């Protein structure tokens, strides 16, 4: 009885549709009663009965349709709460909680590695459990502690972090997986290392696949390959770097750029399930992350890029917000995409999701000091390549660093999937109703959040205006965009310095090549 009464709470928004059905039944009954009561039916009476019956029947049908639709909307809300609470749901659980329906969400494949990949997973897991994270495993040759070398631990840092990102209890999982031991025998190891070693000894190559089930994470994490590979870089001056972690340092030391990235061995085969996941995907998300060490290496594994191109899924590239020192210095969005195309060919991207550039200037200046800068948004060059641009405010500050907003990325991708379902005339499909309901809910939250940011910004401007000297005669434009102007000026200065530095390096390379040719002659 208690569960039944839950339907009539104001939060469920069901009473209106129950009332509409009831009103429809009353009108239909009224029409029938007129037929039985009237001894003689005139045309006016007959017309009134027909109209009353039609209206009543329409009300009943509409009420039933909207009750079903609202039930599905409540279902996705209930599942979201249940997942966030580890399967416990305080509201309307007895009536509509059904985990199987949540598992009917779209198949989404996310390709990359590092923090960028985990950010995307954090947002996407709120909409579907059919997630496959394809992660780079290429830390072979990296210096490790004595304890790690003795145990011959596999380089699975990105795998473990992705499992944490897909956990329903992310904070708790992070603490457990990253717990470092302090005893002498285990010093330098964490629980994640010991766990993955045990799984590897028990299940062998199936260890990572089994972990998804044992840890009850949302979706699954797959290494792009089980082969032992190295990420190597060929620089513009011909230098070959065979260790992933040393690429950025050598680029700075040589004052040059990356010419191309390759994996060794070049014939590494995809891990079981990787190509199948790509073929079955409704959407494939590439990035964000380190372009040359987390994104491109995944696409260089045999048949991965080819399968993505052949897939009919929605292919989204999430652009980085900031450049990466030693890898993408002075890169624009088109430079990132050109690098992808040069390594794996065209047809890998349909949509490019990029930030609006509304990043807090103080944090941009911090990145400028470290040699990084905002990725230049040369959107016209990108759209000229047949790629649709989606601009969205997707930057946020987390622990004093600039990060992608997981919810913004997720709403953009899910929005594309909903548009695709609309195009296929599947508005009444269960998947569409569930996704669209959750999307509306998230957009309301974003609207409230953005409104709060605007109010906070206005308060800050008022405070600055009060603190400013009375004799100051700055224009409204200068007052409003003072910080951004300073940030742009600092960024332009940094870009100019970097440009001159690279021009000098290129001249030096040409002189060196010329001298080498003269010696050979």
The tens digit of pLDDT for each residue in 63-87 reads: 888 887 777 677 666 655 555 554 4
- Shortest CA distance to 284 belongs to which of 259, 324, 325, 314? 314
CA distance 303 to 402: 34
Write the CB contacts of 481 (distance below 8 Å, at least 6 apart in sequence). Answer: none
pLDDT of residue 149: 46
The tens digit of pLDDT for each residue in 260-284 reads: 999 999 999 999 999 999 999 999 9
Range with the poorest average pLDDT among 1-10, 378-387, 500-509: 1-10
pLDDT of residue 406: 92
pLDDT of residue 485: 57
On whether the CB atoms of residues 117 and 108 are closer than 8 A, the answer is: no
Instruction: Taking each helix axis as running N to C, give the angle between helix 157-165 and helix 114-124, from 0 to 180 degrees, rounded to the nearest 10.
Output: 20
Torsion sign across C-alpha atoms 426, 429, 431, 432? positive
pLDDT of residue 180: 84
Residue 151 above 50 pLDDT? no
| pTM listed for this prediction | 0.71
Tokens for 104? 């009917």
* Domain parsing of the chain, residue ranges: 2-99, 143-223, 476-520
**Of 117 and 385, which is predicted with more confidence?**
117
The tens digit of pLDDT for each residue in 2-56 reads: 555 666 677 677 888 888 889 989 888 888 787 777 777 777 878 888 888 889 8
Q: 386: phi > 0 → left, psi -120 to 50 → alpha, else beta; which? A: left
CA distance 263 to 274: 18
The tens digit of pLDDT for each residue in 436-484 reads: 878 887 888 777 777 776 777 677 667 766 665 544 444 444 454 555 5
pLDDT band at 492 (very low <50, low <70, confident <90, very high): low
The tens digit of pLDDT for each residue in 278-309 reads: 999 999 999 899 999 999 999 999 999 999 99
Write the CB contacts of 126 (distance below 8 Å, at least 6 apart in sequence). Answer: 80, 83, 407, 410, 438, 442
User: Buried b / exposed e across 144-181, counting CB within 10 Å, b at 16+?
Assistant: beebbeeeebbbbbbbbbbbbbbbbebeebbebbeeee
pLDDT band at 200 (very low <50, low <70, confident <90, very high): confident
- Residues 193-209 have a mean pLDDT of 80
pLDDT of residue 473: 45
Give me the percent of the chain exceeding a pLDDT of 90: 30
Strand order in the sheet with 230-235: 240-241, 230-235, 258-264
Return mean pLDDT, the chain. 80
- Residues 188-208 have a mean pLDDT of 80
Highest mean pLDDT among 88-92, 169-173, 329-333: 329-333
SS3 of residue 206 by DSSP:
helix
Cβ-based burial of 505 (10 A; exposed 0-12, middle 13-18, buried ≥19) = middle
């Amino acid at each position: 009885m208690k569960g039944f009464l839950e339907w009539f709470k104001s939060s469920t928004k069901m009473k209106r549709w129950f009332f509409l059905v009831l009103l429809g039944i009353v009108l239909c009954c009224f029409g029938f009663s007129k037929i039985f009561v009237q001894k003689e039916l005139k045309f006016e009476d007959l017309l009134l009965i027909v109209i009353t019956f039609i209206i009543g029947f329409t009300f009943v049908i509409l009420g039933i349709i909207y009750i079903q639709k609202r039930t599905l909307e409540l279902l996705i809300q209930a599942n979201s709460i249940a997942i966030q609470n580890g399967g416990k749901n305080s509201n309307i659980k007895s009536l509509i909680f059904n985990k199987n329906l949540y598992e009917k969400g779209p198949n989404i494949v996310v390709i990359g590695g590092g923090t960028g990949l985990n950010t995307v997973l954090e947002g996407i897991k709120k909409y579907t459990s059919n997630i496959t994270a394809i992660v780079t495993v290429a830390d072979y040759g990296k210096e490790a502690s004595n304890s790690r070398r003795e145990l011959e631990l596999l380089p699975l840092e990105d795998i473990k972090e992705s499992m944490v990102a897909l956990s329903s209890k992310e904070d708790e999982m992070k603490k457990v997986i990253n717990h470092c031991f302090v005893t002498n025998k285990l010093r330098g190891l964490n629980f994640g290392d010991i766990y993955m070693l045990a799984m590897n000894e028990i299940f062998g190559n199936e260890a990572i696949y089994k972990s998804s089930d044992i840890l009850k994470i949302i979706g699954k994490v797959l290494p792009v390959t089980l082969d032992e590979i190295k990420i190597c870089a060929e620089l513009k001056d011909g230098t070959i770097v065979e260790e992933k972690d040393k690429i950025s340092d050598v680029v700075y030391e040589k004052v040059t750029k990356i010419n191309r990235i390759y994996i060794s061995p070049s014939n590494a085969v995809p891990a079981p399930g990787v190509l199948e996941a790509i073929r079955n995907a409704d959407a494939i998300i590439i990035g964000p992350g380190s372009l040359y060490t987390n994104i491109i290496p995944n696409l260089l594994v045999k048949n991965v890029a080819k399968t993505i191109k052949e897939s009919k899924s929605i292919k989204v590239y999430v652009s980085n917000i900031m450049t990466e020192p030693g890898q993408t210095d002075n890169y624009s969005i088109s430079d990132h995409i050109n690098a992808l195309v040069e390594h794996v060919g065209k047809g890998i991207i349909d949509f490019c999701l990029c930030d609006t550039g509304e990043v807090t200037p103080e944090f941009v200046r911090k990145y400028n000091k470290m040699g990084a800068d905002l990725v230049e948004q040369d959107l016209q060059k990108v759209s000229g390549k047949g790629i649709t641009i989606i601009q969205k405010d997707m930057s946020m500050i987390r622990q004093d660093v600039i990060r992608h907003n997981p919810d913004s990325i997720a709403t953009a991708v899910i929005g594309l999937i909903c548009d695709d379902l609309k195009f296929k005339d599947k508005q009444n499909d269960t998947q569409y109703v569930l996704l669209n309901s959750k999307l509306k809910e998230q957009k309301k939250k974003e609207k409230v959040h953005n409104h709060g940011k605007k109010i906070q910004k206005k308060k800050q401007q008022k405070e600055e205006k009060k603190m400013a000297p009375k004799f100051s005669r700055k224009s409204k434009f200068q007052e409003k965009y003072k910080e951004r102007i300073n940030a742009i000026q600092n960024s332009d200065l940094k870009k100019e310095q970097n440009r001159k530095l690279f021009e000098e390096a290129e001249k030096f390379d040409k002189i060196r090549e010329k001298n080498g040719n003269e010696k050979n002659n």
